[in-house]
Amino acid sequence: MGNKLASHHRQRLLTVALAIAALAFGLGVWLGYIAWKRDSLTFGVSAMLLLLDAPILALAAILARDSVLHAAARKSANLLIDDLARADSALRFIRLARAHMGVAASYAFVLWVCQSFGLISAWDFVVYSTFIIAAAVAGYLPWFARQEKRVHVYREASRRQLDEIKATENWFAG
């Protein structure tokens, strides 16, 4: 019962993460349309940032979820090697998504610097962009940290299990 509840909870978190990514993508499309209509570089760069980040965030959410498999206590060496590769892939995408969040936060900082030095005059846009970026960072970074920890734990368990198989089967014995 507890395992079924935990699985349902993970599925719900994945759904929320994918919904946020879809919302970010939709916002990117909307900002792209506004940038095209107004011929605005600020809106265009914001649209590009969201359009690039949303698929990465969605893919990282999916890979982090799929990398941890709940299987039998004993697996074959080939399955463990596949699990290790899948976990490494999920960890790479989590790091990439975290880097994209850093780029988004840097973009907000640059907008504030440009606004304060009078290089742009878009107070409302800077405030709204900062709010959206801060909400995304506040929502995704803790979630990614939990996923990364889960994947690391699973990866280490798979690594230990593979090492045990190698030791008992005398792999690479020459």
What is the residue extent of each domain of the chain?
A: 2-169
How far is residue 174's CA from residue 170's CA, in Å, rounded to a whole number?
A: 9
The two three-digit tokens of residue 156, written as one number: 């280490």
How far is residue 125's CA from residue 6's CA, in Å, rounded to a whole number?
A: 40
Q: Is-above-0.75 flag for pTM?
A: no
Q: pLDDT 10s per residue in the chain (174 long)? A: 556 665 666 677 777 777 877 888 888 888 888 888 888 777 777 777 777 777 777 776 666 665 554 444 457 888 888 889 888 988 888 888 888 888 889 989 999 999 999 998 888 888 888 888 888 788 778 888 888 898 899 899 989 988 888 888 765 554
Tokens 């999920």 sit on residue: 90
How far is residue 29's CA from residue 37's CA, in Å, rounded to a whole number?
A: 12
The two three-digit tokens of residue 29, written as one number: 């499309």
How far is residue 5's CA from residue 47's CA, in Å, rounded to a whole number?
A: 38
Length of the chain: 174
How far is residue 89's CA from residue 96's CA, in Å, rounded to a whole number?
A: 11
Kindly provide the b/e burial profile for residues 113-136, where b requires at least 16 CB atoms within 10 angstroms of the residue's own CB: eebeeeebeeeebbeebbebbeeb
Residue 117 has phi, psi (to 5 degrees) of -90, 5
DSSP state of 71: -
